[in-house]
Amino acid sequence: MAPARRTAFAEGVDRLRAAATTEPGRLRIIGAVLALLVVAFGAVTAWQTGERAAAADDVLRRSQPLSSGAAGIYRSLADANTAASSGFLAGGQESAATRDRYERDIRGAAGGLVTAASSAEPGSAAEAAITRLNRLLPEYKGLIERARTYNRQGYPVGGAYLRYANEKMQQDMLPAAEDLYTKENQRLDADYADATPYPWAAIALGVVALAALGWAQHRSYRRTHRVLNHGLVAGTAATTVVLLWLVVGHMVARSGLDGSYEHGIRSLSVLHDARIASLKARGNENLSLVARGAETVTVGGKAYDAYYYDFDKDMGVLGKRLTEAGALADDGAGTTPIKAAEGNMAVWKQRHASARAEDENGNYQQALDKVIGAKGATGECFDSVDANLARAIDHEQSEFQQAAGDGRDAMTGLPVGAAVLAVLGAAGAVAGIGRRLSEYR
C-alpha cells in the first residue's frame, strides 16, 4: 500500500527545520523575522497615527466648529426671542435696530441649521433635532408677526400671541436646539477620545523590533567579532527614529489637544451657558412687563410672577457660570471681559430691582423706561454683558484653535514618514543579513 502523501504545510515545516540546522538557514530566518517586525512596526505606526491625526483634524475642522455652530443656533433663537419682546414693549415706537436684530437672529438660526444639516448623519438624533427646528421656526415667526400686528393696532390679544410664541420657543425650540448642541458635543468628545489615546500597539512593536535588531547585532558580533554590521545598524537607526518620532510626536500632540480641551472647550462651554442665561434673563425681564402679572408660579405655597421668578433663576445661573469662566481663564485677555461682565451683571441686578419696584407699585411706564429706556436702562447692562461674553468667547476660540492646531500639526507627516522609514529599515536589516550570507558562498 502506497504511503499517504504529506501535506505541503508539513513538508514546509520539515524544510524550515532542516534549514535551521545550518547557519545560512538560520540567517535567512533571522533576516525574514527582522524585516517582518520592522515592516509591521511601520505599518501599525502609520495606521494608528493616521487615525489619530484624522481625529485631531476633525476636532479642529469639523466637530468643534459644529459644536460652536449649535451653540450659535441656540443663542440666535434666544436673542431673537429677546429682541421680539423688546420690540413689542416699544409698541409703535419699535426701533429699526431692534427689528433688524430680530431679523438677523432669525437668519442666523436658519443659516446655522443649513450648515448643521449638511453634516448630520441620516437618521441620527441630530438630524431629527434639525428637522424639528426647521418646522418650528416658521411657526414661531408667524406668531411673532401676529403679535406685532395686533400690538400696533392696540389689541391686547397681541400680548397673548407673544406669550404663546415665547412658550413655543422655551418649551419646543430651545430644548431642540439644546439637544442638537448636546449631540454635537458628544461628537466632539468622541473625536477627542479617538485622537488622544497612546498608540500602545505601535510602541510595543517598536520596542520588540529594536530588541530583535539589537539581538541580531550581538549575535553577529559573537560569531564574527565585527563590531558593526552596516545594514543592521541602518535598520536599527531607522527603527529608532520612527519610535522616537512616534513617542515624542504623540506626546506633543496629546499635550496640545488636552490643552485645547482644558483651556478652550471647557471655557467655551461655560461661556456659551453664561451667554444663554443672560439672554433668557433679558427675555423674562421683558415678558414680565408684557404679561403684567398674568403668568404666575407657586413655589412653597407662595405665588410669584412667573417671569420675574425665572429671571432670578437665570441671573443665578449667569453669576455661577461667570465665576466658573473666571476660574478657567488662564490669562488677562480671558479674565478681563469676564470681570467686566460680572460688573455689568451687578449693575443690571440693581437696575432690575428698581424697575421691578416701580412695576409692583403700579408705575408701569416708569418700569418700562427703566427696562427699555434710552439711558440708564437694564437693556444697556444686558448689551454690555453680551458684548463682553462675546469677547471672551472669541478669545477662548482663538486659544482652542492655536492649541488644537499645534496638537494636530505634531503628527503631520508621521504616518507617511513611519511607513517610508520602516521600509528602509527592513531593507537595511535584510542587506545586513545578506552580507553575512555572502560569506558562506
pTM: 0.80
Above 60 in pLDDT, residue 4?
no
Q: Which residues of 396-423 are buried (b: 16+ CB within 10 A; e: fewer)?
A: bbebbeebbbbbbbbbeebbebbbebbb
Model confidence band, residue 119 (pLDDT cutoffs 50, 70, 90): confident
Q: How confident is the model at residue 435 (pLDDT cuts 50, 70, 90)?
A: confident
What is the tens place of the pLDDT at every residue in 101-110? 899 999 999 9
Instruction: Name, in order, each residue with C-beta under 8 angstroms of 329's C-beta and a sequence gap of 6 or more.
Output: 267, 335, 338, 392, 396
Burial of 201 from C-beta contacts in 10 A (0-12 / 13-18 / 19+)? middle
- The Cα 429–Cα 441 span in angstroms is 19
- pLDDT higher than 80, residue 183: yes
CB distance 263 to 402 below 8 Å:
no
Percent helix, percent strand, percent coil in the chain, to nearest 5: 85, 0, 10
pLDDT at 18: 63
Q: Encode pLDDT of 349-387 as tens digits.
A: 999 999 999 888 888 889 888 988 878 899 899 999 999
Distance, in Å, from the CA atom of 73 to the CA atom of 111, rounded to the nearest integer, reads 9
User: What mean pLDDT, rounded, does the chain reach?
Assistant: 87
pLDDT given at position 209 = 93
Query: Quick one: average pLDDT of 282-301?
Result: 77
Cα–Cα distance, 109 to 245 (Å, whole number): 45
Grid coordinates of 300: 412653597
At 226, the pLDDT band (50, 70, 90 cuts) reads: low
Residue 64's alpha-carbon distances to 28, 51, 186, 296, in angstroms, are 52, 18, 10, 40
Q: Are 205 and 41 spatial neighbours (Cβ–Cβ below 8 Å)?
A: yes
How far apart CA 48 and CA 5 sit, in angstroms, is 45
List beta partners, residue 302. Answer: 299
Task: Give all strands (DSSP E) within 222-381, no chain letters.
Answer: 296-299, 302-305
Report the amino acid identity of residue 24: P
By the 10 Å C-beta count (0-12 exposed, 13-18 middle, 19+ buried), 381 is classed as buried
Q: How far is CA 139 from CA 132, 273, 275, in A?
A: 11, 26, 25
Q: How far apart are CA 217 and CA 236, in angstroms?
A: 10
Outline where 361-413 has alpha helix (H): 364-372, 378-409
Q: Is residue 137 a contact partner of residue 145, using CB atoms and an 8 Å limit? A: no
What is the mean pLDDT of the segment spanning 104-118? 92
Q: In angstroms, rounded to a whole number, what is the distance separating the alpha carbons of residues 232 and 223?
A: 15
Q: Note the pLDDT tens digit of each residue in 60-77.
A: 988 888 889 999 999 999
Which of left, alpha, beta for 304 (phi over 0: left; psi -120 to 50: alpha)? beta
- Tell me the torsion sign for CA atoms 69, 75, 78, 81: negative
pLDDT tens by residue, 294-338: 677 677 677 677 888 889 999 999 999 999 999 998 888 889 999
Assign 156 a pLDDT band (cuts: 50, 70, 90): confident
pLDDT mean over 122-127: 85
Q: Report whether 389 contacts 271 (CB < 8 A).
A: yes
Give the residue among 131, 175, 166 at the shortest CA–CA distance from 147.
166
How many residues would you count in the chain? 441
User: Do 285 and 311 touch, CB atoms closer than 8 A?
Assistant: yes
